Chain A
């Protein structure tokens, strides 16, 4: 099964609706609750990142019996220094993002701690691609 969502940069009121849909689908499919939690937390942080930093983006989620694969691709400023962005506490978020309860430099570290495989590629002034794999076994 494959799910696809478009994400609008700056739309904080809608942020999280894609992750919420994925959560509902995984629940309907009978995926274990602890697995669902780590998948949707990583996905939600990634979705917030797109809303917070990019102009627009898309999320694709492939669900199979043994694993979930998610690809989050955005058009935006990109990440100049990925190793810095992976450090807890490092953030380039705006005050608007902080008002929403995010932007403390915990997003990417939170994502990494919930996934089994993780890859991030970014080009400055172009965008970022994040791929995450979760094994269900």
Chain B
């Protein structure tokens, strides 16, 4: 699934347009967690993270885990530090007011598969 389609699906807003419009691979899988150590255990490519955890360590974690797209749920908004770090590491962020549960349900319905 393309980033633009995911954005529409979750009625989200792209926080960093420059990064998101560039060549981020098609997303095939999703993982949802507020616990970053669980994100660091993933062994999967083309995966997005759905989370309500909104701080610099969210960005650091996906940087280490090679995840290129975060959906920030529950109306959380990125701050300037997070944005700077995300841009430095080519990480796209979509903000949505939907809950993690709703985002996951929509993604699942539209063919995004679980990591496990």
Contacts and interface: CB of A to CB of B under 8 A. Distances in A.
Contacts of A16: 56-57, 60-61, 63-64
B25 interface: no
Interface residues of B, number: 20
B66 interface: yes
Contact of A20 (B35, B37, B53, B63): B63
Nearest to A16: B60
Contacts, number: 66
A76 interface: no
Interface string A36-55: 01001100110010000000
Contacts of B11: none
A106 interface: yes
B64 A41 contact: yes
A106 B37 contact: yes
Interface in B42-93: 53, 55-58, 60-61, 63-66, 81, 89
Contact of A45 (B34, B40, B53, B63): B40
Interface of A: 12-13, 15-16, 19-20, 23, 33, 37, 40-41, 44-45, 48, 99-102, 104, 106-107, 110, 113
20 contacts: A12-B57, A15-B56, A15-B57, A16-B63, A20-B60, A20-B63, A41-B40, A41-B65, A44-B64, A100-B57, A101-B36, A101-B57, A101-B61, A104-B35, A104-B38, A106-B35, A106-B38, A106-B41, A110-B37, A110-B40
